[in-house]
Structure 1
Amino acid sequence: MSLDVLALLLAALTLAIGVWGFREWGVGTIERRELASRGTLEEQLDRRRRSPLARLDALLRTAEFGSKLERRLRTAGLEMKLSTFVLAVAGASVVAVVFLWQALAPIFGIVAIFGVVAGIFGYLKRQEERRKEAFTAQLPELARVLSNATQAGLALPTAIDMAAEELDDPAGAELRYTARSIQLGQPFEEAITDLRDRMPSREIGVLISTLLVSSRSGGALVSSLRNISQTLESRKETRREIKTILGESTSTAYAMLGMGVGSYFLINTLMPGAISNMAESTAGLVIILVTMALFTIGFIAVLRMTKLDF
């Protein structure tokens, strides 16, 4: 073998070793970066778990009130931590107390606490109702998807997983949560019952009962789901008509409450200090409390009269 051929082979071998070494160096660098980032992520998660808000979250979850409130936040679709919600309520209450205490009278500052808490929880309840209504409006489509899936021979857990991918939120999010619970080992009946508890309504109750009966004893599930789909579609149209008819009365209730609160500011604007002077006397304080009670009673009465359980 000549020296030129030997030198060429040594050069090729050196190049191959160099390429292999460079590759190993690159792979090692990437692995070290991944380990470093993983360690940083774990450190960040550990710091978050030890943060004051995380500790407050853990403390609130131990109480029954905290666990129920967290469930309501998730049902309402609010991407907010439990501690953040509680601190927001407390902060809004303090701001309202200071503002009304200075703007009108001390008695309004005290009442503001109840008003802010009632208003925020009323908003939370409204968001829950809106999300439930949106979920209920998707039930006919959900029944059709489940009917088609079961007709194709898919099991109910698989059909639910498929429906979660096809439907938009909130039905998609709730079904994904249910499908995930089943995948993690929760029995089908318990997972589907939790769905009914999270989104309680007569329509979902009928659909869930049909699925439970079918999972236990079998039956003509496809035809039942198709009949339910048609019935739910009719009920959706009926609900929409009723809500349209009652929309004016509901607006009247909120207008009445706004007029009550605005009247105090109007009087105080026309006669600065009038509300504060009234609150300093017994007769004036009684008049203020009576008018506030009347406006509140009127607001609640209109809402109750326009609330239908259908």
Structure 2
Amino acid sequence: MGWILVVCCFLTFALAFTALLQWGLAKRGMAVHEHAENLRHNKPVAAKPVWEWMKRTNGRIGRLGGRTKDGKLAHFLKASGVPIRPQEYIVMRVLSMLLTAGLLYLVFHHIPALVLGAVAGVCLPRWWVGRQRMKRIRKFNSKLPDFIVILIGSLKAGYSFMQALKSAEEEMDSPFKDEIRQVLKEMQYGSSLEEALADLLERMPNKDLELIIDAVVIQKQVGGNLVAILEIILQTVRDRMSAQQQIVTLTAQGRLSGIIIGLLPIGVGSLLHLIDPSYITTLFHSTLGLCLLAGGIVLELTGFLFIRKITRIEV
């Protein structure tokens, strides 16, 4: 019953902390709305203690990330499409660390399990957001030829580049639609075309997109036939994607071999444990067995990374 009480206390603390955070964010939103109304009606704006406290708290939490100052964490979250801010992301990692560490310690009652759970809890949100970011970038890259086709058609019809971007925003799906809308919004807030496109490239790193941005910037500065350049880039993008698909097909056997080799020791060990547990438990109760397990894990990871490096060919 003791561990159940500990779990209930921890969940109560997590829920209370989350509720306090949501209350603070809602309070800040109300303060921002009130501030905007006062400015619209030319009323004097008085400093709110809660608003000042939330500003200081958000600043402290933001500095904990180490990367929020220069905007890298914000760009990372925007590129993933996850609708959270850097401060909320940091709080999520802290809560994940506490929850995972507490659960593993309650299950195994060992300090190494506590440390392992803390490390895993910190890394899990980062891994999940990074996975969402890579999925979004791959989807963005797959729609790049369609985007270039829309730009070419709009420019041939006599549209300006800004009008071509708005046309692409109306016709494209997410995430391209969201990213183009973000570019247009940044330009409405005072950013130049070069700065808005540079932010887009930082959120969605792609060599072909970099070619498009360079062509647009050069054409804006010195002039030139942008349509002809985009047609050449379009053909390059299609050739690159075709070659990439062929490489994926040709390296499928190598990638499958890596997965099988990585899972084979786990499968054999589980089978031996089902046949006779004494064959396997010796590895976990002796110094030599633990050293052999550690060596096997290191060799497995090394082989997996080597196979992954060999089968990953960039075009």
TM-score, with normalisation over the residues of structure 1? 0.69
In structure 1, what residue type is equivalent to 2:237?
A: L
Do structure 1's residue 74 and structure 2's residue 78 form an aligned pair? yes
Q: Residue in 1 aligned with 2:66?
A: 64
How far off is 1:226 after superposition? 2.1
* Aligned match for 2:93, one of 71, 86, 90: 86
Q: Residue in 2 aligned with 1:162?
A: 167
Relative distance call for 1:61 and 1:126 in structure 2 (3 A) is: same
Contact 1:96–1:116 under 8 Å retained in 2: no
Q: Deviations over 1:38-97 (max 9, x none)?
A: xxx9758349998xx999865443232455444323212233441464146426743774
- Superposed, 1:132-211 pairs within 5 Å as 132-211=137-216
Q: Deviations over 1:185-239 (max 9, x none)?
A: 1011111111111111211111111111112112101221122222212222222
Distance across 2 between alignment mates of 1:203 and 1:135: 12
* Aligned match for 2:286, one of 281, 300, 310: 281
How far off is 1:260 after superposition? 4.5
Q: Residue in 1 aligned with 2:246?
A: 241
Distance across 1 between alignment mates of 2:266 and 2:57: 35
Contact 2:97–2:120 under 8 Å retained in 1: no
Q: Secondary structure at the match of 2:82?
A: coil
How much identity, in percent, do the aligned residues show? 22
How far off is 1:109 after superposition? 7.0
Q: Secondary structure at the match of 1:64?
A: coil
Distance across 2 between alignment mates of 1:43 and 1:270: 61
Q: Give 5+ residue unaligned stretches, structure 1.
A: 1-40
Distance across 2 between alignment mates of 1:58 and 1:251: 47
Do structure 1's residue 45 and structure 2's residue 52 form an aligned pair? no
Q: Residue in 2 aligned with 1:223?
A: 228
In structure 1, what residue type is equivalent to 2:80?
A: A
How far off is 1:287 after superposition? 1.2
TM-score, with normalisation over the residues of structure 2? 0.68
Contact 2:97–2:117 under 8 Å retained in 1: no
Do structure 1's residue 306 and structure 2's residue 307 form an aligned pair? no
Q: Deviations over 1:137-188 (max 9, x none)?
A: 2111111211222233333233222212211111111111111101111011
In structure 2, what residue type is equivalent to 1:76?
A: S
Q: Secondary structure at the match of 1:200?
A: coil
Decide which moves more: 117-126 or 66-75: 117-126
Q: Deviations over 1:266-285 (max 9, x none)?
A: 55555558766544432122
Instruction: Count residues in correspondence.
Output: 267
Decide which moves more: 248-257 or 206-215: 248-257
Larger radius of gyration: 1
In structure 2, what residue type is equivalent to 1:45?
A: G
Contact 1:142–1:163 under 8 Å retained in 2: yes
Distance across 2 between alignment mates of 1:248 and 1:183: 50
Contact 2:97–2:119 under 8 Å retained in 1: no
Distance across 1 between alignment mates of 2:97 and 2:205: 29
In structure 1, what residue type is equivalent to 2:62?
A: R
Higher relative contact order (CA 8 A, sep 6+): 1
When the two chains are superposed, the root-mean-square deviation of aligned CA atoms in Å is 3.8
Do structure 1's residue 293 and structure 2's residue 298 form an aligned pair? yes
Q: Deviations over 1:239-263 (max 9, x none)?
A: 2222233344334434444444555
Relative distance call for 1:156 and 1:127 in structure 2 (3 A) is: same
Relative distance call for 1:309 and 1:59 in structure 2 (3 A) is: farther
Distance across 1 between alignment mates of 2:278 and 2:92: 35
